[in-house]
Structure 1
Amino acid sequence: MSPDPDSPSADLHSAPDDHPAPARRAMRLGALARRAAIDTRPLSEPAYRRLWIGQAVSFAGFALTSVAISVQVYDLTKSSFWVGLLGPANLIPLIVFGLWGGAVADAMDRRRLLILASLITWASTLGLLVQALLHLRNVPLIIGLVVVQAVGVAVSSPTRGAVIPRLLPVELVPAANTLNFTASQVATFAGPVLAGVVIGHGGYAMAYGIDATLFTVGLYATVRLPSMPPLGDETGRPGLRSVIEGLRFLATRPVLMMSFVVDIIAMAVAMPRALFPEVAETRFGGEEAVGWLIAAIAVGAVIGGLLSGWIGRIRRQGVALIAVIAAWGLAVAAAGLAHSLWLAVLFLALGGAADLVSAVFRQTILQTYAPDEMRGRLQGVFTVVVAGGPRLGDLRAGALGAAVGATASWVGGGLACAALVVLVGLAVPSFRRYTTDR
């Protein structure tokens, strides 16, 4: 039987014998490149394509605004304490309304909820624009608007995650998550760079105005979504009882629970971000190195996303998730031992690539394993873990660094992460055996 000309094996092995050797090698390399490149098939679905474009564009604006807020607050107060208050102003609403928003997403039309949450975020951005245009110089007002913005983000994040499996067939969910996380990492890297240029030339009002304009793209994509009413029995007014039901469901599903546990291990145990300023000063020669260390993880994640075509072909996602988080920990440890800035950046970039793959697997397991009537609440837990894990990591790294030194805290955290995630994975056989065709 002749091979299917559209199959990967045909690309790799069935080049005609009359082609010269260089041409055959080029054809094989081309086939391998196509298999490695990011899977863009989800973009053929119009609703998802609009949602992805809107999310990517609005996230860039959000990153721009986040920097502008910090700079403006410091400019008004000359106090890092006030800038530090922006952390809890963001985190507390994300924790509270992330859980509540996930419960609401299971009880009402997700399109309608996403529109309402987006309007809250948009209104807060317009408020920031107005206060900048009027030169109000009111720091409590700015922090209040940050809280409102965080509420909108907290509700929309779990809702958007619960929407994806309703728009696409299950086999395309990993590719969709890869596209989402890659776009967010591009924005994370590009937003601060853009902020420096915009604030320097146009001021805070221009930064907030660009964000508000970009956000309209995301709002338009949300409005164009199809109606998505609840599929299960969950209706009525969600509250604490609904949230607790979601947490109880999570506690009875080891596979889902482990997808959160391993992420907390990855971020809380290994994240070295709080140590970057000290290591940059003592080992790499100054403040400029901090920017490279921070950017390295995001750049590595983007490159990992662009070379992620293989992710959707992984069936044993439980084992794969354990492996990539262990790789993240080892890469972090290696970066902590490096005495060359560029070697540290390289290892952190490798860690960033592993972290992106980890995020894709965790999100995919959550979206495909959980029933639709529970997806919103579990996505709310996902939002809380993603928001809180790195901050716990900052606390751990900083406290341990002060006690035993930056290098011991950095390297020890990476090694402990790799060892702990393997031990925990071995202790939960159902997670270790989890496959996409369960």
Structure 2
Amino acid sequence: MAIGELVKRHLLDTRPLAVPAYRRLWVGQAVSGVGLAVSVVAVSQQVWELTHSSLWVGLLGLANLLPLVVFGLWGGAVADAVDRRRLLIVGSAIAWSSTVLLVAQALLDLDNVYVLLGAVALGATGYAISTPTRGAVIPRLLPPELVPAANALNSLVYSMGAIVGPMVGGVMLALSGFAAAYALDALLFGAGLYAALRLPSLPPLGEVSRPGVRAVFEGLRHILGSPVLLMSFVVDIIAMVFALPRALFPELTAERFGGSTIALGWLNSGMAIGSVAGALFSGWVGRIRRQGIALVMVIAVWGLAVAAAGLVHELWLVVAFMAVGGAADVVSSVWRQSILQLHAPDEMRGRMQGVFMVVVAGGPRLGDLRAGAMAATFGMTAAWVGGGLACAAAVAAVGLSVARFRNYRSG
């Protein structure tokens, strides 16, 4: 009985899956996430083969970042003013069209890095519109006590897609090439679009602000007025910009593992393996009350794990250290997302999710650019290891310096 109770207290809470609308959304995200991860691996490898430059691979991050910032903030404001179901469908359709463009350029053998950057930017536009909308939908589908569990479930399927997708992508690139990899993404994307179509109508509640610059600034002022919310964003930006080594994976594969696409798939899956493990055993996460200092601790663990991964030369050790970082990252994500969703009124949730999405999705793109630029200047190892160590030091210095964040207790 004691063992059973211990397992129950620590395993993933699956109660949100009993709600049909959320369950469809969750399954759709799980399936389409695999395809997205396949394309992420394929496009970075295609850019590497065209340019043999980690800087160009890092520029994929910039191509993602600009649409994420502009349309993420705008999409969040629109999500507070229109039916969220319709907006989710529109954003999903735009993202799907970018995958079709990737398929076309591969079939036509265009071999043009600028076409790839344009397709990535188009996909980021759709992602920027749909992601804050999806985040704002969840508190409308579930009671408040199930929202943290839903965020853990979302992290689980995202991470599982990030494991399965890169592995499938590595195999498909080895056997079938770029066009087949992108076509698989286009096919699997249908599951997410179906889930959006099956959602109930979700018109705005409360006071409706006209979407535009003023509405965006209202959301930003809300965050700036809350040190806890603001610092939760700041520490995440530090984690991704300083430490994420994703843009260095193709170069590391070429230098240490003979250019194997299978090794590339394992590298892209390493962090997600840890994220899945962290999400599966996330039952304890909701019981932590001092979440400010806890966030600082897990992000410092992430940075140190990344630094360790950059120092080892065996593939399994690199994957193992990245998995440790992934477990720390998923815990951080659940805390930050739950705080944001439950401390904002419904009429502000779209804008809050827009800013959250810009930080969560934009931070890694800046991290890609940082890693690629540092590698071009100082070498791959310095960019990888130095970034991880800088992350751990910076998050401790910044996170612990703000008393209201350091002493923050949930509930």
**Corresponding residue of 2:8:** 34
Structure 1: gaps spanning 5 or more residues: 1-10, 13-27
Counterpart of 1:93 (choices 38, 60, 67) is 67
Q: Which amino acid aligns with 1:388?
A: G
Say whether the 8 Å CA contact 1:65–1:207 is kept in structure 2.
yes
Matches within 5 A, 1:11-22: 11-12=1-2
Deviation at 1:57, TM superposition (A): 0.8
Matching residue of 1:260 = 233
Question: What is residue 351 of structure 2 aligned with on the other side?
Answer: 377
Alpha carbons of 1:336 and 1:207: their partners in 2 closer, same or farther (altered >3 Å)?
Answer: closer
Q: Distance in 1 between matches of 2:353 and 2:165?
A: 25
How has the CA–CA distance of structure 1 residues 244 and 45 changed in structure 2, closer, same or farther, with 3 Å as cutoff?
Answer: same
Whole-angstrom CA distance in 1 between matches of 2:121 and 2:270: 29
1:23 equivalent in structure 2: none
Q: Distance in 2 between matches of 1:79 and 1:330?
A: 28
| 1:230 pairs with one of 189, 201, 204 | 204
1:330 and 2:308 aligned: no
SS of aligned partner of 1:100? helix
How far does residue 332 in structure 1 lie from its aligned partner after superposition? Answer: 2.7
Distance 1:407 1:79, change over 3 A: closer
SS of match in other structure, 1:427: coil
Question: How far 1:434 moved relative to its partner?
Answer: 2.6
- Give 1:329 deviation, angstroms: 2.3
Match of 1:367 among 315, 329, 341: 341
User: Structure 1 residue 57 and structure 2 residue 31: aligned?
Assistant: yes
- Matched residues in 1 for 2:193 and 2:138: separation? 16
Which residue does 2:398 correspond to in 1? Answer: 424
What's the CA shift string for 1:277-336, capped at 9, x where partnerless? 666777x56545665444322211122222222222223322321221122123233434
Relative contact order (C-alpha < 8 Å, sep 6+): which is higher?
A: 2
Contact 1:98 1:381 in 2 (8 A): yes
In structure 2, relative to structure 1, the CA distance for the partners of 1:147 and 1:404 (3 Å cut) is: closer
Deviates more, 1:38-47 or 1:380-389: 380-389
Instruction: Please tell me whether the aligned partners of residues 61 and 369 of structure 2 are also in contact (alpha carbons under 8 angstroms).
Output: no
Shift of 1:155: 0.3
Give SS of 2:400's match.
Answer: helix
Structure 2 distance, partners of 1:409, 1:83, is 14
**Counterpart amino acid of 1:250?**
I
After TM superposition, the score normalised by the length of structure 1 is 0.81
Measured against aligned partners, the alpha-carbon deviations of 1:124-150 in whole angstroms (never above 9, x if no partner) come to 4345556666x4748466654443322
Q: Give percent identity, aligned residues only.
A: 62
The answer (yes or no) to whether the contact 1:175–1:311 under 8 Å persists in 2 is no
Cα drift, residue 409 of structure 1: 5.1
CA positional deviation for 1:64: 2.4
2:363 matched residue in structure 1: 389
Deviates more, 1:395-404 or 1:304-313: 395-404
Shift of residue 389 of structure 1? 1.9
Separation (CA, whole Å) in 1 of partners of 2:354 and 2:161: 22
Q: In structure 2, the residue corresponding to 1:435 is in which secondary structure?
A: coil
**CA apart distance, 1:173:** 1.5
Shift of 1:52: 0.4
Residues 1:393 and 1:232: Cα distance change in structure 2 (over 3 Å)? same
CA pair 432-87 structure 1, distance change in 2 beyond 3 A: closer
1:171, distance to aligned residue in structure 2 (A): 2.0
Question: Greater Rg, structure 1 or structure 2?
Answer: 1
CA contact (8 A) 2:274 2:322 kept: yes
Asked if 1 retains the 8 angstrom alpha-carbon contact of 2:309 and 2:321, the reply is yes
Counterparts of residues 181-220 of structure 1 (less than 5 Å)? 181-199=155-173, 201=175, 204-220=178-194
Question: Partner letter of residue 76 of structure 2?
Answer: G
Post-superposition CA distance 1:149-201 (Å, at most 9, x none): 22111100111111111111222222211111221122122223223444555
Amino acid of the residue matched to residue 212 of structure 2? G
CA distance in 2, matches of 1:270, 1:382: 19
**Does the Cα contact within 8 Å between 1:259 and 1:366 map onto a contact in 2?**
no
- Residue range with higher mean Cα deviation, 334-343 or 53-62: 334-343
1:96-122 deviation per Cα after TM superposition (whole angstroms, max 9, x unaligned) = 111111111111111121112122223
Query: In 1, Cα distance between the equivalents of 2:383 and 2:187?
Result: 43
* Alignment partner, residue 123 of structure 1: 97
Asked whether the equivalents of residues 172 and 312 of structure 1 are also in contact (C-alpha less than 8 Å), the reply is: no
For normalisation by structure 2, the TM-score amounts to 0.86
What CA distance in whole angstroms lies between the structure 1 residues aligned with 2:6 and 2:275? 20
SS in 2 for 1:231: coil
Contact residue 302 and residue 353 of structure 1 kept, 8 A:
yes
Q: Please tell me whether the aligned partners of residues 132 and 351 of structure 2 are also in contact (alpha carbons under 8 angstroms).
A: yes
Q: What letter matches 1:420 in structure 2?
A: A
The offset of 1:413, in angstroms, is 3.6
Alpha carbons 2:41, 2:268 under 8 Å: kept: no
The answer to whether the aligner puts 1:414 opposite 2:363 as a matched pair is: no
Find the residue that maps to 1:63 and give its secondary structure: helix
